[in-house]
Amino acid sequence: MTRQLLIIGSGAAGMLAALEAVSHGVHPVLLTKAELGAGNTGEAQGGLSALTALGVSRGDSVQAHVSDTLNAGAGHCAPHAVSTLCQDSPDLVTRLEALGVHFDRDPAKNYQLGLEAAHSAHRILHIGGDATGKGLVNALGAACRSQQEAGALEIIDHAMATELCVREGRVSAVRYLRDGQQQVRSADAVLVATGGIGQLYQSSTNPAGATGDGIALAARAGAAISDLEFVQFHPTMVDPVKYPGVGMISEAVRGEGAWLINDAGERFMLQIDERAELAPRDVIARAIHAQQLAGYQVFLDARHVEAAQGTGFLAKRFPSITARLAACGLDLAADQIPVTPAQHYLMGGVLTDLEGRSTLPGLYAAGECANSRVHGANRLASNSLLDAMVFARRAIRAMLTDSADQHADLPPTDSRRLPAARTGKPIDLPELQRIATQTLAVYREASALQQTIARLDASTAQAADERTLAELENLLLVARLIAHAALARTQSLGAHYRVENPEPRTGERTSWQLSPTDERQHTDEAKEIFA
């Protein structure tokens, strides 16, 4: 019997999952909040880390990629999940190329492999220099639309999922909001691939739709959520106060040799880590934050790279960044660019096994909203697209064959219940963003976390319309999960830095479930479709 698969989200994970399902002869439904590819994937600059024959000929290996990922993850990754991630990368590249993705190659047709922080080898495939995300969503979007025209894929756009309906202990339908109407669609299995949480912060590299929807939906349905204390801050967002809207500058620019300089002219990373500007992202974000607290401004300086490589090198290698900077009168080849850390990625999410299964039967997760346990406490650069697509493909295969009660069977974690939310003071998005930016950021501190928890656990989301309210409720729930997880992890590790205990210490993975009273009860509409 053909299974009805429903995929929520249309970034790299969602679109590739839909295409994978089509290739297995099923007719999936792809539900997306905006339009195909409008999410985080399209913003990706650096690229896709993967093992290629060219990389192997230059000494790279699966083991080297595994080892770099484990090191960046600060001892908190699941090693077998990381091995799966890295082993699956060559096959993923082959599949993407078959779907029309063209990675950059030199005139001899060899891949142009980039380098990013904490990678021991050049292994980053990119598209259009620094427009990898756009290249991916264009190719995957075109493939999805052609399957839609052929009648093999149903796309429901501008539809915001608002509930995962659970019947007899498994997810069996999705409730969603479209054109102001609530609708319900039943499914044998549901994949959440809704991306990140950037809208929780005043400054983020994520687009507007990154409101933690998949995590909140899964948590309310009863799935375990883990590692939410590990929020990654990208070190080099162009100062959003002076130059609003320019966005981040890819780590690949530092991979080409750019430096971080303070306004006293010091290349401060030399004192902090022997890898200097190519230290892991958490180390660099913290170092910049410390500079700022000490009263310095920080700049990215690539002028010597241009001088060494020749005029026009940076514009050719990073055309999109060059154009965005030019629009506000900055030139990567001639100016020092003011930068600051900004929220970028969430390592934690819906806890999943190697096949994308959550702890709740019928529910699968892939991409940034999932925690496939490959990123540990700090994600290695350019492993996010790889994670999203490797585990999306694996999830679809499992969704087609799993028994009705199959779910992630994972090693025990430190398992906790989020205290029940209390109805309380209204909170709107600017207030929530202010609290998160002040207390759930690069540095965390116990008393500030306690105050945040006291405020958020007794807050009621307030917004002008139903859709905005749904997003704000999702962000509020994610913020509560981050705050509780950050308070519970009293030691620093990777991107989670507790000022009271700065020395990094590994510890157990904590997984969280909502208290039974916070899990969403079936709505009348959902009950109707099960009648």
Give the binding site for ligand SIN (CB under 6 A): 45-46, 250-252, 381-382, 384
What 3-state DSSP class applies to 202?
A: coil
Q: Whats the size of the chain, residue-wise?
A: 531
Contacts of residue 95, Cβ cutoff 8 Å, sequence gap at least 6: 16, 393
Residue (229 or 256) nearer to ligand SIN, CB? 256
Tell me the closest approach of the beta carbon of residue 373 to ligand SIN, in angstroms: 17
Q: Dmax over Cα atoms in the chain, in whole Å? A: 71
| Beta-ladder partners of 357 | 364
Find out whether 55 and 353 touch, Cβ atoms under 8 Å: no
Residue (345 or 512) nearer to ligand SIN, CB? 345
Tell me the closest approach of the beta carbon of residue 329 to ligand SIN, in angstroms: 23
Which burial class, exposed, middle or buried, applies to 265 when counting CB atoms under 10 A from its CB (0-12, 13-18, 19+)?
exposed
- What is d(CA 345, CA 365) in angstroms, rounded to the nearest whole number? 16
Tell me the closest approach of the beta carbon of residue 65 to ligand SIN, in angstroms: 14
Catalytic positions, please? 281
Residue (300 or 526) nearer to ligand SIN, CB? 300
- The token pair at 30 is 């792809």
Residue (45 or 199) nearer to ligand SIN, CB? 45
| Beta-ladder partners of 429 | none
Dihedral angle over CA of 272, 277, 283, 284, nearest 10: 110
Identify the sign of the CA torsion 444, 450, 451, 454: positive
Amino acid identity for residue 303 in this structure: R
Q: Quick one: which of 187, 164, 151, 143 has its CA closest to 27?
A: 151
Q: Quick one: which of 233, 320, 316, 241 has its CA closest to 45?
A: 320
Strand-pair category, 189-192 with 363-365 = parallel
Amino acid identity for residue 241 in this structure: V
Q: Shortest Cβ contact with ligand SIN: which residue?
A: 46
Tell me the closest approach of the beta carbon of residue 192 to ligand SIN, in angstroms: 21
Dihedral angle over CA of 62, 68, 72, 77, nearest 10: 30
Amino acid identity for residue 387 in this structure: D
What is the helix (H) or strand (E) element at residue 417, kind and residue range?
A: strand 414-418
Residue (342 or 351) nearer to ligand SIN, CB? 342
Find out whether 393 and 92 touch, Cβ atoms under 8 Å: yes
Residue (258 or 408) nearer to ligand SIN, CB? 258
- What is d(CA 508, CA 302) in angstroms, rounded to the nearest whole number? 40
Q: Quick one: which of 300, 308, 306 has its CA closest to 333?
A: 306
Residue (336 or 384) nearer to ligand SIN, CB? 384
| Beta-ladder partners of 125 | 48
Residue (347 or 440) nearer to ligand SIN, CB? 347
Residue (45 or 511) nearer to ligand SIN, CB? 45
| Beta-ladder partners of 182 | 177
Exposure on the CB side of residue 161, measured as CA atoms within 13 A: 32
